[in-house]
A and B are shown apart, each in its own frame.
Chain A
Amino acid sequence: MPSGIAKAPIFGTTTFTYMAQQKKLVYVVDDDPMQVQMMSDHLIEKFGFDVRGFSTGEEAVNNLTNHPDIVVLDYYLNSVKAEARNGAEILRFIKKEFPNIQVIMVSGQDSMEVAVDTMTYGAADYVVKGDNQFVRLQHAVEKLFVNERLHERVNYYRSLSTISIVAVVLIIVLTVVLAAMGVI
């Protein structure tokens, strides 16, 4: 995900403070315009994202070169266009070609099989449509930020430990050289 400063959320609440140096770009893909509108409105209201809606996975895929940070992807995308590719196929394509894009799958079906499938193909989370979907979508996005922060911290400490090792080695070499020269 591109640079941004996200404060870690307080677990168990919906309170989340998000600050971004650059607005994150989010694609919402659903064949139901009402779903696109409601999820987009919610993400804009809660996070201030730059959100773009698409009614098919193909349209979203054709715009992936804009490098969205997150794609919110419906599992079933063929209620309007019967020949439209389903969300699982689109997910596999995205994760193969753009592995850094985080995908949150959304489905009206509370099915363990669908959930396992989508997670296996690399989805970051799975949200079931219904009255709670917007809160759950919000939590899924917050979880992505937490993971992003953890990843940044791991990288930071990894860099720090590398620098420390190099410094210790330099001190040892310097000590040996100075000792050999009789300076110490």
Chain B
Amino acid sequence: MAYQHIDLAFLEQFTKGDKGRMAKYIRMFLQAAPPGIDAMRVHYKARDWEQLKSAAHSLKPQVGYMGIGAIKESVQRIEEYAREQKRLEEVPQLIERVHDTCEAAFGELRQAAQDLEAQA
């Protein structure tokens, strides 16, 4: 199945095509990512740059595993700006970009997990 926002090539390679394991990791991401994105918003409002950096840092490899390439750079920039406390005025826009893209990706990931579980 062709996806617009995700690419499961890494997961497929990592699990050697084990559909059950692929679905397991997708479910874990679907559980972890939404609170992770919310946390970035909360930490930005609280001007807690250390925690904002940590939240972006955690999300960074996960979006890579799920092949959500469109926001990889945005997450990297959020982490960098929070770490170096620079260009912080750009961060809310970056967080919203991450949120919107992830929302679209979550739908595809839910579908993918269902399909994989059905085939496992």
Contacts and interface: CB of A to CB of B under 8 A. Distances in A.
A79 B60 contact: no
A130 B86 CA distance: 25
B25 A37 contact: yes
Given A38-B25, A131-B10, A32 B54 contact: no
Given A37-B25, A38-B14, A41-B21, A79 B51 contact: yes
B54 A34 contact: no
Contacts, number: 50
Contacts of A82: 50-51
Interface residues of B, number: 20
A58 B58 CA distance: 19
Contacts of B101: none
Contacts of B62: 32, 34
Nearest to A41: B21
Nearest to B29: A34
B61 A130 contact: yes
A34 B11 CA distance: 13
Given A41-B21, A131-B10, A35 B54 contact: no
A33 B32 contact: yes
B64 A34 contact: no
Contact of A33 (B14, B28, B39, B54): B28
Interface of A: 31-35, 37-38, 41-42, 76, 78-79, 82, 108-109, 129-131, 133-134
Interface of B: 10, 14, 21, 24-25, 28-29, 32, 39, 50-51, 54-55, 57-58, 60-62, 64-65
19 contacts: A32-B61, A33-B28, A34-B25, A34-B62, A34-B65, A38-B65, A41-B21, A76-B57, A76-B58, A78-B50, A78-B51, A79-B39, A79-B55, A79-B57, A109-B57, A129-B61, A131-B10, A131-B65, A134-B14
